[in-house]
Amino acid sequence: MRNLRWYIGGLLGIGVVINFLDRTNISVAGSQMAESYGWSNVQLGVLYSAFFWTYALLQIPVGVLLDKIGVKWILRTCMTLWALATIGTSFMGGMSGVIVMRMILGAAEAPAFPASAKATGNWFPLHERGLATSMFEGAAKFANVIGIGICVWSITHWGWRGAFIVTGVINLLYAIVFWLFYRDPAEHSKLSREEREYIENNGSRVASQMEGSTYQNLLLLFGNRKVWGLSIGFASYGYTLYLFLTWLPSYMTKQLHLSLATGGWYTVIPWIVATITEIAIGGWLVDHLIRKGRNPSKVRKGILIIGMLFGVFVLLEPTTVNPNLEVAFLSIALGGLAFAASVSWSIPSIIAPQGMVGTVGSIMNFFAQLMGVAAPVITGYIIDKTGSYNSAFGLAGIILIIGILCFTFLLGDLKQIPSRPDGSAQNPGLDHGTEKASG
């Protein structure tokens, strides 16, 4: 049996790395841009959040399109557009121009995560879903490991504009690779019959289109407790993630008084930890425990809650001014949140009614990206008012506690949501809540 599905998983993971370079570049370049144009922290926070205005707004429409059209053509088109928007940012001469480019970028990158979740559901059986999901979710953390270095190097040589030119060219090269190599399982000429049968017979969500009207399907999902528990819980993770993603480089240089290069290295450490924990715990350990016969719902829920609890370590940030301790607390928090996020992204392909994986993933991601709009601006406001990042970290910890409660009590067992009024699923033979371990 050929393992083509793992090459596809790797391709999706590389795509997310590329995708997140476009979020890293603005956070690293932001301080230089603010100094050049005399922007306040609130203005810088608005600039950081501009990407998420369109990114969040288009999440649900994009999810519906993914379920109607499929992954391939939507990602092909959007990847090309987001590469051009990244390069275009380097030619802007003020805040308004940069904001427009960031909004175009956000719109173009809106399908990235829902599409990866849908593609993973199509290509991977349930007992491999944890590791497969961690490949693209963990890539978001790894992007910061390499992205910070790439952007610092580019800024050192060509100023802040260099960060956008270099990452934009990398985006464009990947778009070409994706056009050439990605296909859905049903149309991939290199997928062997043996591997196709293995995928389809072990719980894969074979690519299918959404049935029924979009309005009725959205009413079904928004009226479901599981969707709300998943969405609010994931939004709490999103708030802390985007606080770290946008303000961590500035925190290292301004509050800890480290140089750009030293602060860059200190910033990288938590993201390295997050990459490792996401793949090792959110990926390998989840699949290992399920293959050993443990209850899949309890395994995923348990690891999800543990990861979120580690995230609450962010509350300890204000208790020390020692950079080494600061980085240790950040590493624990981000490491836990990373493997919690990996589990979260595997849930849409488990609980969604048949043909609605993309929509459930987009609803979940929509609420998380609203936090991407809020976190940078709220943090900038707190810094301007208090002169410190401490209250911003405290607020993030409180929001995480709310998310833990939603994951615990609203989400419930990880079973497929019925898609008919009588409570039956469209595919009654596939019970995600009682999946059998196989390997």
pLDDT at 365 > cutoff 80: yes
Name the band, by pLDDT with cuts 50, 70 and 90, for residue 122: confident
Model pLDDT, residue 436: 32
pLDDT at 85 > cutoff 60: yes
Who has greater pLDDT, 67 or 423?
67
- Rounded Cα gap, residues 411 and 415, in angstroms: 10
Percent with pLDDT over 70 in the chain: 92
Percent with pLDDT over 90 in the chain: 35
Model pLDDT, residue 299: 93
Helix/strand/coil (H, E, C) string of the chain? CCCHHHHHHHHHHHHHHHHHHHHHHHHHHHHHHHHHHCCCHHHHHHHHHHHHHHHHHCHHHHHHHHHHHCHHHHHHHHHHHHHHHHHHHCCCCCHHHHHHHHHHHHHHHCCHHHHHHHHHHHHCCHHHHHHHHHHHHHHHHHHHHHHHHHHHHHHHHHCHHHHHHHHHHHHHHHHHHHHHHCCCHHHCCCCCHHHHHHHHCCCCCCCCCCCCCHHHHHHHHHCCHHHHHHHHHHHHHHHHHHHHHHHHHHHHHHCCCCCHHHHHHHHHHHHHHHHHHHHHHHHHHHHHHHHCCCCHHHHHHHHHHHHHHHHHHHHHHHHCCCHHHHHHHHHHHHHHHHHHHHHHHHCHHHHCCCCCHHHHHHHHHHHHHHHHHHHHHHHHHHHHHHCCCHHHHHHHHHHHHHHHHHHHHCCCCCCCCCCCCCCCCCCCCCCHHHCCCCC
Model pLDDT, residue 433: 36
Q: What is the mean pLDDT of the chain?
A: 85
Model pLDDT, residue 208: 52
pLDDT at 435 > cutoff 50: no
Q: If you average pLDDT over each of 42-56, 258-272, 300-314, 364-378, which comes out highest?
A: 300-314
Model pLDDT, residue 212: 65
Model pLDDT, residue 260: 66
Least trusted range by pLDDT, from 11-25, 43-57, 340-354, 409-423: 409-423
pLDDT at 82 > cutoff 60: yes
Model pLDDT, residue 39: 87
pLDDT tens-digit series, residues 308-362? 999 999 999 888 878 889 889 999 999 999 999 989 988 987 898 877 877 888 8
Task: Name the pTM for this structure.
Answer: 0.74
Model pLDDT, residue 210: 56
pLDDT tens-digit series, residues 182-222? 988 888 888 888 888 888 887 665 555 556 677 888 899 99
Name the band, by pLDDT with cuts 50, 70 and 90, for residue 432: very low
- Rounded Cα gap, residues 186 and 206, in angstroms: 8
Can you tell me the mean pLDDT for 110-135?
83
**What distance lies between CA 76 and its chain's CA centroid?**
19
Can you tell me the mean pLDDT for 170-193?
89
Can you tell me the mean pLDDT for 380-392?
89
Can you tell me the mean pLDDT for 31-45?
85
